[in-house]
Structure 1
Amino acid sequence: MCMKKRYTAIEVEKELQAMREKEGFVGLVETKLVENIVESYKGNHTVGDKVTMYVNPLYIHIPEWQRTCDMGAALKIGTEYNPLVWEAPKILYYNSILICIDGMHRVVGTAKAGFKNIVCDLIECSLEDAIKLFLSQSKNRRKMAQCDYYRAAIESGDENYIALKDICNRYNVAVKGDPIERQVGIFTPISDGIKSIRLNGTGLIDSIVGLITKLQWNGYADTYNGKAYTAKFIRVFHSLYSYYAGREKEMEEILLRECSGTEFFVDNLIDLTQAQAFDRLSGIVRYVMESPLEAKRKEKATKAKAIRAKVN
């Protein structure tokens, strides 16, 4: 696992599982041994709601909602281990296995270094509470990527994160770090999306993701890696919806008529700054709204609508 620097929790667990299988620590052997270890420590080494215990780090599983692993940092922990500054990882006994809640880099580093025992704190709570502990403690640990926090928040049932996932997936847009089939792009600014939901409810971010998808700016998603749904353009559309409040539908119609297609996006927007992109799109919207031709078009549309109403 030394070919790249960062690994997902799934990749790390796959590597550790291969090591367990090599040692025959699988199936009934694992469940019975872990059960005996946990039971032997309970009652004798309990402090509050946790049990301090020695355990082979290889016995500890890495759940898929854990953070991305900086393998270089993890390996350094194993090679430069110092018992005087060791902080016990927090683990949970869940579904007959031990899973890592806090201290993944310490667990992975010592497992890769071949340690047979490390000091851990076995916490006694529900999985949901354990994930909440992970999320709260991670604020004071190594900086966590938004997609790492997102996975754990989804697992813990956070309504705002679930809402963001549902909105994006409805338009075949994946949230960064959570790929889906037949995705048309990747929504990368997770914190922006969550902030919008907390402040405005789900309506605004739903409109933004839906409009970008209808504009079909991500025709070259593989090449541009979903740039239509990056922070720059999500923020541009937040501003547009604010400036044209009360005329949102008119703004959307103009953008769909004048700015649709990947070619437009690549030729006119992709390399602009956030401010430049806003000025470009707002300029188009404002020009059309103020155009005499647009006024005539609206007048014709209104008359046509009135005629249809009389006929019906």
Structure 2
Amino acid sequence: MRIVILGGGFAGLSALKTHDSIMIDNKDYFILTHKLIDVVKTGDPSIAKIPYPKVLKATVKSIDFRKKVVITTSGEIAYDKLIISLGYSQKLIEGVTKFENIEDALRIREGLLRAKTVVIIGGGNLGVELASLAREMGKEVYLIEGQSRLLNFMSQESSAYAEKKLREMGVNVLLNTKVEKIEDNTVYAEDQKIRGDLIVSSIGFKGPSILKELGLTTINDRMVVNEYLQSVDQEDVYGAGDCSTTKEFIPMSAQVAVQAGRTAMLNAIGFERKFSYRQYAIIVRIGNEYFGDLLGKFVRGRVAELAEKLGIHRAIKLLK
């Protein structure tokens, strides 16, 4: 039986590790997404790159589900079972720099070196860490979050700690603030007008647009799968990682993607495993201090740093 995996991120690598298959990716390297902030800081893209051990480098153009063929820039590849793990994309906003990949990180770095005022939209982990870095570089920084707290997917303790640390650094943290429009390097947020030399979006993450173009059922451009991670449209197709979700929602997370990749592959080769996941640790860094949630409890300092390094170690193990 030939199994083809589309995408070599956390989910794709986890699937490949579970059972030998053909993995297709448009890059020949794996991106450590939580290291993108270090690319911004240093300008060294190798920090977030690890070469793939086994990959067919090609871009997916289309899929013929009836004939069970993936059409790529390197030709057609037949499959018996298909695992789609194409990761996430980010909605484009005119006049705003997205923060999705290594190229974006390098572009943000160039902007930071020239900017005096930086506006960051979105108080998730990327937004928080970028606000910290920009402030360390001596920039005036505005961090805009539409919800009532930063890191709203984490514990209340982590949210409060992030806000406290950033405010102490001098970051202008604006909570419960909706962005209405952006034009002429100015962010219009309710009754405020904030002009920025660099405006960065760390929100708007979704699935890749090709999934909807292929005719698959999607939510926020993420393909909809059942409890076995099987496509609700195609019985020989499975979805794993940030590009897929159930109707009840699966969070976008490296840890969840690893668990999904393994489950999708097990089911593709004949098992019947319902998918369940667990978030073991979510770690954020402000300055040189690590903090976050470990097994549901707030941690900081050395324990948080060790948890973050363990996450990197697990990612590297997928590549061996």
Structure in which a larger fraction of residues adopt strand: 2
TM-score normalised to structure 2 length: 0.21
TM-score normalised to structure 1 length: 0.22
The structure whose Rg is larger is 1
Structure in which a larger fraction of residues adopt helix: 1
